[in-house]
């Protein structure tokens, strides 16, 4: 049986899509640029408290579970295998050559917004492992961004003995519960000027920056589906504006972004493609 589906991206959405396609008898190949599956979960050393029925597992352990499941059922996966470009006939160029299938699935997810900063030993961009790599004990840490991740990471910095200050250009958007968990952390609201070279915010010196400006969609080079608010626009079936190209998970901003909804979206797309192939 020739290749029927190429899935680009091995986060929860892409892996779930690959697992279901395998179970449905569809030959799919998943391409993941990183060395392992799991997407942004591989960045998270924290317990994931939001997945129903899964307790006591960190994001990294959740990522490993996804990988183990795909391996156990024999889903075809290539890691450290980025999609270098996708041509007009949906030929996917990879480091070892090129691949083609009648259906494509975009499951490339998101990445942290850099906001003009460059990651260094003193500047972390995004939550999880980048922030955990900062030396924070006894140091003043500027947390840039007033969303959930900003307040969450400020709490982790404080727990590790650091002294965080949150800078938010507008009223903080973080959940009230997260804000209430760190009542003693200073929050500065309003416009600010951050100088990475001098490591200052509005002229005030800090030992490190944590840049928590949210996320942006990642698209495979060469593919240009219609976007909506910077994310791939899809209908309720996961179809994009390009024929026979589907998208699922956080690259679509289709549902509230989390592991559970991303995985469910991958399942939905797998079932739809299987149905199309059977017609």
Structural domains of the chain in order of their starting residue, each with its CATH number: 5-111+215-278 (3.50.50.60), 114-211 (3.50.50.60)
Q: Tell me, what's the pLDDT at 254? A: 81
SS3 content of the chain, % helix, strand, coil (to 5): 25, 25, 50
Q: Tell me, what's the pLDDT at 173? A: 96
Q: Tell me, what's the pLDDT at 248? A: 98
Q: Give the mean pLDDT per block of 10 residues along the chain (279 residues).
A: 92 98 98 97 93 94 98 98 92 96 97 97 97 98 98 97 98 96 98 98 98 97 96 97 97 90 98 96
Radius of gyration of the chain (CA): 20
Q: Tell me, what's the pLDDT at 233? A: 97
Please give the Cα distance from 155 to 85 (Å, whole number).
40
Q: Tell me, what's the pLDDT at 1? A: 53
Helix 59-73 to helix 12-23 angle (10° resolution) is: 20
Q: Tell me, what's the pLDDT at 257? A: 86
Phi, psi for 143 (deg, rounded to 5): -100, 115
Q: Is 166 left (phi over 0), alpha (psi -120 to 50) or beta?
A: beta
Cβ proximity of 40 and 15 under 8 Å: no
Q: Tell me, what's the pLDDT at 177? A: 95
Q: Kindly report the number of other CB atoms within 10 A of residue 237's CB atom.
A: 13
**Collapsed DSSP state (helix, strand, coil) of residue 262:** helix
Q: Tell me, what's the pLDDT at 88? A: 76
Please give the Cα distance from 225 to 247 (Å, whole number).
10
């Amino acid at each position: 049986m020739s290749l029927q589906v190429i899935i680009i991206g091995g986060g929860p959405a892409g892996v779930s899509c690959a697992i279901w396609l395998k179970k449905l008898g569809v030959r799919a190949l998943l391409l993941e640029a990183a060395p392992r599956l799991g997407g942004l979960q591989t960045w998270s050393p924290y317990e994931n408290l939001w997945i129903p029925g899964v307790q006591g597992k960190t994001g990294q352990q959740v990522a490993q579970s996804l990988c183990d499941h795909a391996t156990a059922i024999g889903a075809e996966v290539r890691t450290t295998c980025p999609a270098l470009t996708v041509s007009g006939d949906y030929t996917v160029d990879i480091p070892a050559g090129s691949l083609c299938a009648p259906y494509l699935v975009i499951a490339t997810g998101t990445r942290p917004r850099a906001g003009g900063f460059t990651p260094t030993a003193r500047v972390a961009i995004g939550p999880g492992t980048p922030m955990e790599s900062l030396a924070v004990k006894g140091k003043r840490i500027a947390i840039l961004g007033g969303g959930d991740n900003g307040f969450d990471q400020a709490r982790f910095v404080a727990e590790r003995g650091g002294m965080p200050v949150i800078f938010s250009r507008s009223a903080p958007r973080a959940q009230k519960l997260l804000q209430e968990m760190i009542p003693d952390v200073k929050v500065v609201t309003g416009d600010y000027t951050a100088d990475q070279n001098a490591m200052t915010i509005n002229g005030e010196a800090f030992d490190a920056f944590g840049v928590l400006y949210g996320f942006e969609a990642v698209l495979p080079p060469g593919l240009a589906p219609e976007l909506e608010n910077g994310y791939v626009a899809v209908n309720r079936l996961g179809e994009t504006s390009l024929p026979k190209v589907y998208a699922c998970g956080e690259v679509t901003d289709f549902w509230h972004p989390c592991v559970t909804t991303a995985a469910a979206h991958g399942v939905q797309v797998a079932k739809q493609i299987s149905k199309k192939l059977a017609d």
